[in-house]
Amino acid sequence: MRTFRSYLPDIMADLSDRQKYGAQRLMRNLWRARGLLAVAIIALFCVHLFGDLPFMVLPAAIVALLLAAAISGDAEEADEERRATAEAGEMQSLSAENLAAAVTDPLIVFDDSASVIHANAAAIAAFGDLRPAMSLQLKFRAPEMQALIDAALSGGGSQSADFIDKLPVERVYRVTASAVGHGSRLHVLLFKDQSEARRIDRMRADFIANASHEMRTPLASIAGFIETLRGPARNDPAAREQFLQIMQNQTGRMARLIDDMLSLSRLEMKPYLKPGARVDVRQVVESVVDSLGPLAKESDLVIERDFADGPMETPGDRDELYQVFENLVENACKYGRDGDRIVVSIARSDKAPQPGIEVTVRDFGPGIPEEHIPRVTERFYRIDSETVQSRKGTGLGLAIVKHILTRHHGRLSIQSELGKGSAFTVYLPTN
């Protein structure tokens, strides 16, 4: 049995620690009140030097100031401790459900038997029914999810895997499984939606592949004609003239392709913000029709105008809207040449959800097969027919139109019937 004497070293060490803590706290308090102490001490010295203050009063006043500063510091430290205690109490009062609800990504909490304990609103919206006690292994039957859940239950630490949910629409998630704390026997699945990033990557890869294909064809044609001109057609003026004309057409096609690609790239770099300037759509369309009059004449077409009276303004960028209508009228001249006219009309629209302006470019050419209409605004998409392939184009015009209209909060609708022509209608809001 230990005697009291054996406890003395421990007691002294404890007192020493307390004294050290008290000294440290006193120094912190004095440091906090250093400005006040300095002013007070200087004032006391001034009174002592120039007044009748007795000498012993000065040390007493300094000691009193030091005590006051220490007490003030203790009060501040007590307030800080109370605030920290209150914050800790608030953290402890937060429930797991509240924390899960604050997470915007789908989150599922499950136990060692792979049964659902809790699913937040985002998870229920994404995956439907996730009631408590439901088996996760029956809910997510994909092999990658089965392996991820098994790895989490085996205590392998944080694990991640890609999961593709095909219904109701295909979504790609990066799923992370990890344990909740130590010894809690709870685990969590966190789903990060990667669908948009994957779509952009796929679109970028398709764009590069399509652009490379479009550029390769005219380059191969030009290279072949150069080889012919340097060989068999070296001294044949007629062949040389014919080949040079074809080469000029191919270089023009490449130049148009590059211009359209740069235009689309510039549009994609701009933010999707509603432009602030007001544009008179009637004036823009009139300028387009006037500038493309010679092209229509070359194709033996007449452009008819059917414009409503008065100015029609919309928030927008004039140059971009000019590009929209230029593409549409130019396409009508290219693909509607089997008809005899093109009708460009402008009218006010009172359709819900808000009033706007409708501009329609109608041709009377061969029309577009119904199955191709939903895809004609895709980049480089072309209808597989000799009539269309013979026209000059890059396959980017309608993609540029759609992108500009999206930025202007507008939309494009297409109606077509084989043998009767096509109508492209642009809707732009007035506010």
User: What are the structural domain ranges in the chain?
Assistant: 4-93, 97-193, 196-269, 274-431
CA distance 304 to 286: 11
Q: Which of 73-77, 101-105, 379-383, 389-393 has the highest mean pLDDT?
A: 101-105
First CA to last CA distance, the chain: 92
CATH of 196-269, one of 1.10.287.130, 1.20.810.10, 3.40.50.300, 3.60.110.10: 1.10.287.130
**Averaged pLDDT, 349-377:** 84
Which two three-digit tokens encode residue 212?
């490379």
CA distance 368 to 362: 12
CA distance 134 to 124: 13
Provide the greatest CA pair distance for the chain: 125
Least confident range from 55-69, 144-158, 385-399, 416-430: namely: 55-69
**Averaged pLDDT, 16-21:** 52
In tens, the pLDDT along 307-358 reads: 988 778 888 888 889 989 998 998 888 887 666 889 999 998 877 567 889 9
CB 391 within 8 A of CB 363: no
Q: Which residue has the higher pLDDT, 266 or 417?
A: 417
Least confident range from 150-154, 260-264, 266-270: namely: 266-270
Any residues with CB less than 8 A from the CB of 36 and at least 6 apart, and which? 65, 69
- Beta bridge mates, 429: 356
Instruction: Name the pTM for this structure.
Output: 0.50
CB 397 within 8 A of CB 260: yes
359, pLDDT greater than 90: yes
Q: Which of 273, 297, 278, 255 is nearest to 431 (CA)?
A: 278
151, pLDDT greater than 80: yes
Q: Which of 20, 46, 59, 18 is nearest to 67 (CA)?
A: 59
232 C-beta neighbours (distance < 10 Å), count: 10
Any residues with CB less than 8 A from the CB of 241 and at least 6 apart, and which? none
Q: Which pLDDT score is estimated for 87?
A: 52
190, pLDDT greater than 70: yes
Amino acid code (one letter) for 122: A
Q: Which pLDDT score is estimated for 209?
A: 73
Q: Which pLDDT score is estimated for 385?
A: 46
Q: Mean pLDDT in the chain?
A: 76
Q: Which residue has the higher pLDDT, 345 or 214?
A: 345
Q: Which pLDDT score is estimated for 11?
A: 42
- Cα distances (Å, whole numbers) of residue 209 to 202, 214, 240, 354, 379: 11, 9, 33, 40, 11
Angle among Cα 294, 297, 302 to the nearest 5 degrees reads 115
Q: Which of 322, 305, 293 is nearest to 362 (CA)?
A: 305
Q: Which pLDDT score is estimated for 27?
A: 58
Least confident range from 57-66, 188-197, 209-218: namely: 57-66
CA distance 222 to 242: 12
CATH of 274-431, one of 3.30.565.10, 3.20.20.370, 3.40.50.300, 3.30.10.20: 3.30.565.10
**Averaged pLDDT, 55-84:** 58
- Rg (C-alpha) for the chain, rounded Å, is 39
**Fold of the CATH domain 97-193:** Beta-Lactamase (3.30.450)
Q: Which pLDDT score is estimated for 328?
A: 92
**Averaged pLDDT, 183-201:** 84
